[in-house]
Structure 1
Amino acid sequence: MTIRATSDRLAPRSAPFFANHPAVPVVETGVTRAHGRRTLAVLRLATGFIFLWAFLDKTFGLGFSTPAARAWVAGGTPSQGFLLGDGVVGPLKGFFTAVASPASDILFQLAMLGVGAAVMLGIGLRVSAVVGSVLMVAMYLAEWPFGANAASTNPLVDYHIIYALVLVALAVLSAGDTWGAGVRWKQLPAVKRLPWLV
């Protein structure tokens, strides 16, 4: 008995895999419809404003989470105040205490400003997703939600994790293309050369 290596019914090796099959229809989903894109744009603007507001409040002491006396422009220490305060608990407290410095204040504020502005503008969403997610996970770990004295009511998923996931979703779904500068940003020569800047 001889087994044939090829079959007349199979497409030639050089043909595309689906050459003999009908085209797969594109299914329109809620994300691809106009109202889905607009909903993502609103989520993007709101999320970006959370980061931008944190920067503004800590810089100028607007009186919400930061009083004027502790504003960055008045000599306050945005990250050190958190890292050296009572909010940091758990086994990583020593690490977070060690990184508290004027440099951590600058990096924290730049991250909040950069992520907030980029997300609101709809540009650099991949970089914003990475930077913002790292920042959110670090803050999540600094507050160590697993202990008996944890302030969080959910040890696995709190608002830090949700913000990180939202940033990733906004980047993956190109949320900056609607009501943002995402389309123009992607056309810049530097962004075409370095796709991670998208």
Structure 2
Amino acid sequence: MSSVSHNPAEWAHGSGAAREATAETTHVASEAVARYAFAGVRLLIAFEFLWAFGDKLFGWGLSTPSDAAWIRGGSPTEGYLGSVQGTFAGFFNPMAGNPVVDWLFMLGLLCIGLALALGIGMRIAAGAGALLLLLMWMASLPLAVNPFVDDHLINAVVLIGLAAFLAGDTAGLGRWWSQRRMVRRFPALR
């Protein structure tokens, strides 16, 4: 008996066993690609947060001029929150330049950025990052280019997805972090 199939439908797609093996290999390869793609997105968003922190702290001259750096007495929130117009101006404008808001904003940028970069505490980092981005999206309304969507809103949703798909486990310390006693006891720290 020959192992060659005489069924033309199997010629195009291979035998059942070959099809299953190919599907499994493709699934495994696709899963690995997805894991590394999510890890890449996680690291890019981490860089966004850490860059914003560094630029506002030191005034690297891109978004924040050096004379407006936080270490030189500038406020990291004054320019952005002070220039809010539209629906939420009454909410955000009074916060501009408030030292407590400055500290919370800068700590948020730093802690969210570090957690994303390391792949640890992803649930808290994703929640806090999504909240911060949602607030920044609200401050941007009305949007100049699109009536509803901008990068703040997209990144907020992406952060939740990264935490849900355990993006910190690939190219990060997430798997190691998840084995810590405190994290096993309080899964929200994952």
Superposition TM-score, scaled by structure 2 size: 0.82
Alpha-carbon distance between aligned partners in 2 of 1:70 and 1:190, rounded to the nearest angstrom: 40
* Mapped contact 1:132–1:164 kept (Cα < 8 A): yes
Shift of 1:33: 2.1
Distance 1:30 1:106, change over 3 A: farther
Note if contact 1:129-1:168 (Cα within 8 Å) is conserved in structure 2. Answer: yes
Aligned partners of 2:95 and 2:185: how far apart in 1? 35
User: Residues 30, 171 of structure 1: CA spacing in aligned structure 2 closer, same or farther, 3 A cutoff?
Assistant: farther
Answer whether contact 1:83 1:97 (CA < 8 A) is retained: yes
Secondary structure at the aligned position of 2:134 is classed as: helix
| Percent identity for Structure 1 against Structure 2 | 45
Superposed CA offset, 1:106-161 (max 9, x none): 0000111111110010011111111111111111111212xxxx4x3112110100
Q: In structure 2, what is the equivalent of residue 95 of structure 1?
A: 91
Q: Is the 8 A contact 1:50 1:116 kept in 2?
A: yes
Deviation per CA, 1:63-86, whole angstroms, max 9, x where unpaired? Answer: 1111100001010100122111x2
Gaps of 5+ in 1: 1-25
Name stretches of at least 5 consecutive residues in structure 2 with no aligned partner: 1-23
Q: Does 1:156 align with 2:148?
A: yes
Are 1:65 and 2:63 counterparts?
A: yes
**What letter corresponds to residue 139 of structure 2 in structure 1?**
A
Partner-residue secondary structure (3-state), 1:123 = coil
Q: How much has 1:39 moved relative to structure 2?
A: 1.3
Compared with structure 1, are the counterparts of its residues 31 and 157 closer, same or farther at alpha carbon in structure 2 (3 Å cutoff)?
farther
Q: CA RMSD for the aligned pairs?
A: 1.9
Structure 2 match to 1:104: 101
Number of matched pairs: 166
Change (3 A) 1:53 1:75: same
Aligned to 1:143: 140
State the partner residue of 2:81.
Answer: 83
Q: 1:134 aligns with which of 131, 135, 145?
A: 131
